[in-house]
Structure 1
Amino acid sequence: MMKITDAKVIVTCPGRNFVTLKIYTDEDLYGIGDATLNGREKAVVAYLEEHVIPCLIGMQADRIEDIWQYLYRGCYWRRGPVTMTAISAVDMALWDIKGKAAGMPVYQLLGGASRDGVMVYGHANGETLEETVEEVGKYIDMGYKAIRAQTGIPGLPSTYGVSGDKMFYEPANGALPSENVWSTEKYLTHAPKLFERLRETYGDEPHLLHDVHHRLTPIEAARLGKLLEPYRLFWMEDCVAADNQEGLRRVREHTVTPLAIGEIFNSIWNCKTLIEEQLIDYIRATVVHAGGITHLRQIAGFAALHHVRTGCHGATDLSPVCMGAALNFNLWVPNFGIQEYMRHTPETDAVFPHEYSFKDGYLHPGNKPGLGVDIDEKLAAKYPYQRAYLPINRLQDGTMWNW
């Protein structure tokens, strides 16, 4: 029986903050898990160090399901992003250990590959329509078959998804939150023009995606979905805030544009109605915030019964550890849809050496035992934590709005 002997939390900032949990065993095997919660990293650090790690010492490392249930049911205060991110980190690390003990990549332990590679999408953005169209072309030239397109909006000084750095977009940009200004009217007038231009330029072949980022009401989102129908989007993401899952029903009633949501979900209960009543087409819950591989398997299995496919979040605030876990999950999961792939900086890639690789629009996790990702602790120590907040959003009259 392989037992957990120790665990520690590593915080590093090679361009942005990452939190990594490392679990040790009495058989000289260790596993790592991503515990990053963008803008609230230290909350998860405290949760792990003060409340989780003391409980793990002496537990059997191979009892992944039992440990998951212990951490979920045993804390009484269930769910929430901090708790579920901490549980996710433990879960990833234990799957990493199990894969190393078996001498297999994790996708083999899940049941083996269901496909040869994992289709991913990149992020193209520009201040103007012309610049965004050009950036989409660059992603096509790199081999991407799917591209998310975001553009600046005339009359607004800044827009979500648009940045000067076209490859390593990082929205957490200040020691205190920066403020953006939003106008739904300007956005609804301008956004469809982008996709009209993209189809005129690149034809029907590339998959095109767009992120609304929770900013519309259901009827506004329904209007946008209707306006985008001629351009056949792969999906329209986060068109409304899903605190009220019923809100997606109004959108679904008015448009056939595919709907994706779930990057801020942390359990199956956040998406139960959406999946059960087929109000979405893609569930975007991610390994690091939705309970790790163990719980994401439950969400995906439930989704498969209702013709909903996976589309895991994969922004730069998810470390290469999470990407390795997601790719092992994606290579196996039968109802896979697509994987978001925002590339990490060279500094981050050096801190987290990894096996996964990109080719012709697809990622593959590789065949290294476990998750296929490690952490260089000496290098990580050279990048100390820097407090960074995500922006906030206000309407033009000053009203707080969803960022």
Structure 2
Amino acid sequence: MPKITRARVIVTCPGRNFVTLKIECDDGTTGVGDATLNGRELAVASYLSEHVIPCLIGRDAHRIEDVWQYLYKGAYWRRGPVTMTAIAAVDMALWDIKGKLAGLPVYQLLGGASREGVMVYGHANGATIDDTIAAAKDYQAQGYKAIRLQCGVPGMASTYGVSKDRYFYEPADADLPTENVWSTSKYLRVVPELFRTAREALGWDVHLLHDIHHRLTPIEAGRLGRDLEPYRPFWLEDATPAENQEAFRLIRQHTTAPLAVGEVFSSIWDAKDLIQNQLIDYIRATVVHAGGITHLRRIAALADLYQVRTGCHGATDLSPVAMAAALHFDLSVPNFGIQEYMRHTDETDAVFPHAYSFADGMMHPGDAPGLGVDIDEDRAARHEYSRAFLPVNRLEDGTLWSW
């Protein structure tokens, strides 16, 4: 059996912060896992270094399920984003090791491919509707079959999802939180026009998505969904904060627009009622924040019973390690829906060489043993950690609102 002899945390900032766990076994096999929690990276790094790594030394790297349960049940203090991100990092690294020892890509260990590739969506955004449509046409020309649409709201200095760069968007942008201003009424006027224009310009052979980012009340979300129904949105993401899961029942009563939620979920318990009551159509829990491949498979299995499909979060706060793990998961599960894909910078790709690839709107994790991704530690060491916070949001009268 391969015994874990060493594990260490690597923090690097090739344009944005990433936390990576690297586990080594007595036979020389290594595995990597992503432990990045955007805006709270060092909390996870400390949790791993101080509390998790000492418990891993000497354990059998093959016993992935037992290690997962040990870290979850054995800590007593369960769940939460810091704990579950740390567990996810261990889980990814152990699957990486198991794949390398077997000489197989991880998706083969998960039962093999359920499809030829993984449909992904790109992010088209702009200060105006015309800018967003131009960006969407660019994605369409690249072969994307699904595109997320976000545009600036007239009268607002900044809007979620609208970046300074057409391809690269990093919301954690300052040493202390940036404060944005929000107007729901102005937002609700512009989005239907964005979708109407997009359908005229892009046609009906491309899926169109939109992220509300927890900004609306349930009844406001129902109104927006009804307004967008003629344009057949693929989904409305994070329509309202999901702490009150009954809120999604109210949205369901007012629109047939598909609903997606869950990028901030850390366990199956966050998603259980939404799935069982069929209040959502896509579960967006991600491999890095919801306990790794092992736990995400449980969430997907529950969702499959209720015809809820996966649509995992895939912004740049997932390192290429987590993106690779997500693609192995996506390729294998029967109820896959779509995968978010925000490309990383050249700097990040150099630090994390990887086997996954994009072509014709689809991605594939590659057939390298394990996850097919690694970390170049020499390059990583050149990029020192730089504190960065996500923004906060206020209404025009100064009331703090969901960002």
**TM-score of the pair, normalised by structure 2:** 1.00
Q: Which residue of 2 aligns with 1:266?
A: 266
Q: Which residue of 1 aligns with 2:145?
A: 145
| In structure 1, distance between residues paired with 2:195 and 2:66 | 48
| In structure 2, distance between residues paired with 1:106 and 1:58 | 23
Q: Cα deviations across residues 34-58 of structure 1 (Å, max 9, x unaligned)? A: 0000000000000000000000000
Q: Cα deviations across residues 115-138 of structure 1 (Å, max 9, x unaligned)? A: 000000000000001111111000
| 1:1-400 to 2 correspondences below 5 Å | 1-400=1-400
Could you tell me the percent identity over the aligned residues? 71
Shift of 1:155: 0.6
| In structure 2, distance between residues paired with 1:274 and 1:75 | 27
The residue type paired with residue 13 of structure 2 is: C
The residue type paired with residue 370 of structure 2 is: G
Shift of 1:203: 1.2
The residue type paired with residue 339 of structure 1 is: Q
Q: Cα deviations across residues 282-329 of structure 1 (Å, max 9, x unaligned)? A: 000000000000000000000000000000000001000000000000
Tell me which stretches of 4 or more aligned residues in structure 1 moved more than 4 Å.
Answer: none
| In structure 1, distance between residues paired with 2:55 and 2:84 | 16
Q: Cα deviations across residues 145-188 of structure 1 (Å, max 9, x unaligned)? A: 10000000001100000011111100000000001100000001
The residue type paired with residue 261 of structure 2 is: I
The residue type paired with residue 96 of structure 2 is: D
| Secondary structure of 2:263 counterpart | coil
| In structure 1, distance between residues paired with 2:14 and 2:336 | 31
Q: Cα deviations across residues 347-382 of structure 1 (Å, max 9, x unaligned)? A: 000000000000000000000000000100000000
The residue type paired with residue 111 of structure 2 is: G
| In structure 1, distance between residues paired with 2:379 and 2:341 | 24
Gaps of 5+ in 2: none
| Secondary structure of 1:313 counterpart | coil
| In structure 2, distance between residues paired with 1:288 and 1:317 | 9
| In structure 1, distance between residues paired with 2:382 and 2:9 | 16
| Secondary structure of 1:271 counterpart | helix
| In structure 1, distance between residues paired with 2:266 and 2:126 | 31
The residue type paired with residue 216 of structure 1 is: L
| In structure 2, distance between residues paired with 1:217 and 1:130 | 28
| Secondary structure of 1:181 counterpart | strand
| In structure 2, distance between residues paired with 1:314 and 1:36 | 12
Shift of 1:202: 1.3
Shift of 1:78: 0.2
Superposition RMSD in Å: 0.4
| In structure 1, distance between residues paired with 2:47 and 2:211 | 31
The residue type paired with residue 95 of structure 1 is: W
Q: Cα deviations across residues 260-288 of structure 1 (Å, max 9, x unaligned)? A: 00000000000111000000000000000
| In structure 1, distance between residues paired with 2:141 and 2:203 | 15
Shift of 1:208: 0.2
The residue type paired with residue 131 of structure 1 is: D
| In structure 1, distance between residues paired with 2:9 and 2:243 | 31
The residue type paired with residue 176 of structure 1 is: L
Q: Cα deviations across residues 53-112 of structure 1 (Å, max 9, x unaligned)? A: 000000100000000000000000100000000000000000000000000000000000
| In structure 2, distance between residues paired with 1:354 and 1:89 | 17
| In structure 2, distance between residues paired with 1:386 and 1:273 | 38
The residue type paired with residue 339 of structure 2 is: Q
| In structure 1, distance between residues paired with 2:63 and 2:35 | 20
Q: Cα deviations across residues 177-223 of structure 1 (Å, max 9, x unaligned)? A: 00110000000111110000000111111100000000001011011
| Secondary structure of 2:253 counterpart | helix
The residue type paired with residue 122 of structure 1 is: G
Gaps of 5+ in 1: none
| Secondary structure of 1:138 counterpart | helix
| Secondary structure of 1:135 counterpart | helix
| In structure 2, distance between residues paired with 1:22 and 1:214 | 34
